[in-house]
């Protein structure tokens, strides 16, 4: 089998890349280990930066997002006894949208299906070969058990943090940076109207809490917990009680309304960056090349920004034999990756408690500065609402 771009992974990066390439008339085949149903139901990110929304609009994927998503002007920052609203539109001229990764993935899946995209879901044993030649190829076993060889001009590694692409870049070529944070998030999805109009990021001596949402009837909330926390230790009532304490239930007339929990999971938190994001004819995008801790909601937006750079680079390479953008791809993408890596680390370390009383005093001092100074608030707003693609 032959295609122009073999795309490994049908997460947001892989699906959006296939969409952007097809708008340029470039063929791709998408390989995915999971089923389409699994990928579309996987609960992950929920916040889209303005540049992500503008891109989705520009490529015909903004209709349902505009109808069912919810535009937010900013967030609340709170700590015991204080609550401050940061208005990103006033501060940085940009908003964010609440629209789940599940919905982005469904919109992309539908658009690709309508365009006749060739997909292989449920594949196994994916491996990449001959990456430093101009005839690279991928081998995999299809869901029917057939061994397939897919020849391509280029391979796009959009296979997340557990896929084979990252490992295909030899150690002698790559450099990696990693930080594992000493806490995890316990995330819940609940069938209850959000108790807030905008997201609440809360610092508390017991640990960080976040009140997010998915729609007018579905709330998404997170609690900082110990790494490797056993979810069995967290019955629903304990989760709601702890969220109420950390988010400030009863203060200034604000109340948290609990409801039935429909999903519960513990997420580890780490930062990871691999450089370069290219090896020969293999180009990495999204979580395959970098992971950020979720505080600050950057993971999905970074994956989108990567492929927004990669699609024109591959188009110029394959259609005009011009490799300038492809040669610059890794450096260009990594500028934003490191900006978001810093922002996610900064939000994480400002809001999660470590038990060290000196750290706690510094965190509260920083929160007061961010909430009380226009310069501090603008820095957070500019990064959270998102810098322009290609910054
Ligand atoms: P992925 O979405 O991971 O897609 C990669 C795809 O490749 C997957 O579908 C995978 O099955 C497939 N794949 C893997 N191996 C192979 C193979 N061998 N062959 C073929 N296919 C393969 N970000 C936020 O901003 N906010 C959040 O709240 C948030 N929560 C998260 C919760 C979890 C549990 C995780 C894991 C991530 C979360 N993120 C969050 C991060 C965000 O979801 C990711 O940054 C985003 O999904 C990146 O998209 P991607 O397409 O690069 O990777
Ligand atoms: C969500 C996740 C985040 O990491 C974040 O910073 C904001 C919102 C969410 O899942 O809704």
Q: What is the pLDDT of residues 74-99, one digit of tens each?
A: 999 999 999 999 999 999 999 999 99
How far is the C-alpha of 357 from the C-alpha of 230, rounded, in Å? 26
H helical segments located in the chain: 12-23, 36-41, 50-58, 63-68, 88-92, 101-114, 165-168, 236-247, 299-320, 324-351, 357-372, 374-385
Q: Does the reported pTM lie above 0.85? A: yes
Is ligand 1 within 6 A of the CB of residue 300?
A: yes
Task: Among the bound ligands, name the one nearest to the CA of residue 138.
Answer: 1
Whole-number Å distance between alpha carbons of 206 and 353 = 7
Average pLDDT over residues 136-158: 98
The mean predicted confidence, pLDDT, of the chain is 97
Reported as a single tens digit per residue, the pLDDT across 160-204 is 999 999 999 999 999 999 999 999 999 999 999 999 999 999 999
Nearest CA to ligand 2 atom 1: 46
Nearest-atom index, ligand 1, CA of 47: 25
Tell me the per-residue pLDDT of 239-268, one tens digit each, with 9 for 90 and over: 999 999 999 999 989 999 999 999 999 999
Kindly report the protein residue whose alpha carbon is nearest to atom 4 of ligand 1.
Answer: 11
Distance 45 CA to ligand 2 centre (A): 6
- pLDDT of amino acid 122: 98
pLDDT attached to residue 160: 97
69 lines ligand 2 (CB under 6 A): no
Structure tokens at 101: 């990764």
pLDDT of residue 391: 72
Ligand 2 and 47: CB distance under 6 A? yes
Find, among 201, 228, 389, 219, the residue nearest to 312 by Cα. Answer: 389
Going by the DSSP 8-state scheme, the letter that residue 258 receives in this structure is P
User: What would the mean pLDDT of 29-34 be, rounded to a whole number?
Assistant: 98
């Amino acid at each position: 089998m032959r295609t122009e771009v073999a795309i490994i992974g049908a997460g947001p990066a892989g699906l959006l890349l296939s969409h952007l390439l097809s708008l340029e008339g470039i063929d791709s085949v998408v390989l995915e280990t999971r089923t389409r149903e699994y990928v579309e139901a996987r609960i992950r990110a929920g916040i889209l930066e303005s540049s992500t929304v503008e891109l989705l609009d520009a490529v015909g994927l903004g209709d349902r997002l505009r109808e069912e998503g919810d535009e937010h002007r900013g967030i609340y920052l709170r700590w015991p006894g204080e609550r401050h609203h940061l208005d990103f539109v006033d501060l940085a001229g940009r908003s964010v949208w609440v629209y789940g990764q599940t919905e982005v993935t469904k919109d992309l899946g539908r658009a690709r299906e309508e365009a006749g995209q060739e997909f292989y879901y449920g594949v196994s044993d994916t491996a990449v070969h001959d990456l430093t030649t101009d005839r690279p190829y991928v081998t995999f076993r299809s869901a029917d058990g057939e061994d397939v060889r897919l020849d391509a001009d280029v391979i796009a590694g959009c296979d997340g943090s557990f896929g084979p692409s990252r490992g295909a870049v030899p150690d002698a070529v790559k450099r990696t940076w990693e930080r594992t944070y000493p806490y995890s998030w316990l995330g819940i999805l609940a069938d209850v109207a959000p108790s807030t109009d905008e997201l609440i990021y809360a610092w508390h001596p017991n640990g960080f809490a976040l009140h997010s949402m998915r729609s007018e009837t579905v709330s998404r909330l997170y609690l900082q917990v110990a790494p490797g926390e056993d979810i069995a230790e967290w019955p629903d009532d304990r989760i709601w009680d702890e969220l109420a304490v950390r988010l400030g239930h009863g203060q200034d007339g604000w109340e948290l309304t609990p409801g039935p929990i429909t999903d519960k999971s513990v997420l580890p938190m780490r930062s990871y960056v691999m450089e370069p994001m290219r090896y020969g004819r293999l180009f990495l995008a999204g979580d395959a090349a970098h992971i950020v801790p979720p505080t600050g909601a950057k993971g999905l937006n970074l994956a989108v920004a990567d492929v927004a750079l990669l699609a024109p680079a591959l188009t110029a390479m394959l259609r005009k034999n011009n490799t300038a953008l492809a040669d610059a791809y890794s450096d260009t993408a990594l500028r934003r990756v490191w900006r978001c890596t810093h922002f996610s680390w900064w939000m994480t370390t400002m809001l999660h408690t470590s038990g060290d009383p000196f750290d706690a005093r510094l965190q509260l001092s920083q929160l007061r500065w961010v909430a009380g100074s226009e310069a501090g608030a603008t820095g957070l707003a500019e990064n959270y609402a998102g810098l322009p693609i290609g910054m």
